[in-house]
Chains A and B, each alone.
Chain A
Amino acid sequence: NAGVMQNPRHLVRRRGQEARLRCSPMKGHSHVYWYRQLPEEGLKFMVYLQKENIIDESGMPKERFSAEFPKEGPSILRIQQVVRGDSAAYFCASSPQGVGTEAFFGQGTRLTVV
């Protein structure tokens, strides 16, 4: 049973380009969460999705960031017109159901904006 799969592991983008980060949850998991870790900080919640629905996007920046979790395929975190401050590690987690179950994390995507 494969764990949470994120790709790419490393992504380099020039300022102004778009970044697409992918996350395939564990088999049987229908809840997906995205977190961002800036250097020297803890993980910060960005968005919580279930299949085809955004449940909570209270941690998402108001502009340039979007997320989806389609009926088929992985969850996508999309960052348009990247800036240097977007450089961070982005982690995806999945869980089978709600509160009271553990969320399992992928290995993360390290985004570097040059």
Chain B
Amino acid sequence: DQQVKQNSPSLSVQEGRISILNCDYTNSMFDYFLWYKKYPAEGPTFLISISSIKDKNEDGRFTVFLNKSAKHLSLHIVPSQPGDSAVYFCAASEETGGGNKLTFGTGTQLKVEL
């Protein structure tokens, strides 16, 4: 049972354009959402997060949007740069006794082309 879904395994975007990565979830108990970026042979690197009490959070070139009614979130990267090429994981957590247990999606491979 995949509670966090990233339905696009890959995305190709031209440098300078906007990259939009999508994520859907099924568990209505999730109240905190995160995006991680991962290069091959490295651990995931935290990018940006959003609490369920917000619908938008922005940090530089990265913006995350949350639509709770649709159980959908998206990560916008603008402008996209070649160094953004990596696998992007969406993750979600719920209040579990104060822990930060994350449920991950399967990832989207982003390729930013020159």
Which residues of A does B touch, CB under 8 Å? 4, 6, 31, 33, 35, 41-45, 48, 55-56, 91, 93, 95, 97-108, 110
Contact = CB atoms under 8 A, between A and B. Distances in A.
A39 B52 CA distance: 31
Contact of A42 (B43, B46, B107): B107
A46 to B, nearest CB: 10
Interface residues of B, number: 30
A103 B43 contact: no
A4 B43 contact: yes
Given A42-B105, A99-B32, 20 more contacts: A4-B43, A6-B43, A33-B102, A43-B104, A45-B102, A48-B99, A48-B100, A48-B101, A56-B99, A97-B98, A99-B100, A100-B51, A102-B34, A103-B46, A103-B102, A104-B46, A105-B45, A107-B41, A108-B43, A110-B41
Nearest to B9: A40
B97 A55 contact: yes
B48 to A, nearest CB: 9
Contacts of B96: 48, 56, 99
Nearest to A105: B43
Contact of B100 (A4, A6, A91, A101): A101
Majority secondary structure of chain B interface residues (helix, strand, loop or mixed): loop
Interface of B: 4, 6, 31-32, 34, 36, 41-46, 49, 51, 89, 93-107
Given A43-B104, A44-B104, A98 B42 contact: no
Majority secondary structure of chain A interface residues (helix, strand, loop or mixed): strand
A41 B99 contact: no
Given A99-B31, A99-B95, A43 B44 contact: yes
Contacts of A4: 43
Contacts of A41: 106
Nearest to A45: B101
B26 to A, nearest CB: 15
Contacts of A55: 97, 99
B100 A105 contact: no
Nearest to B93: A99
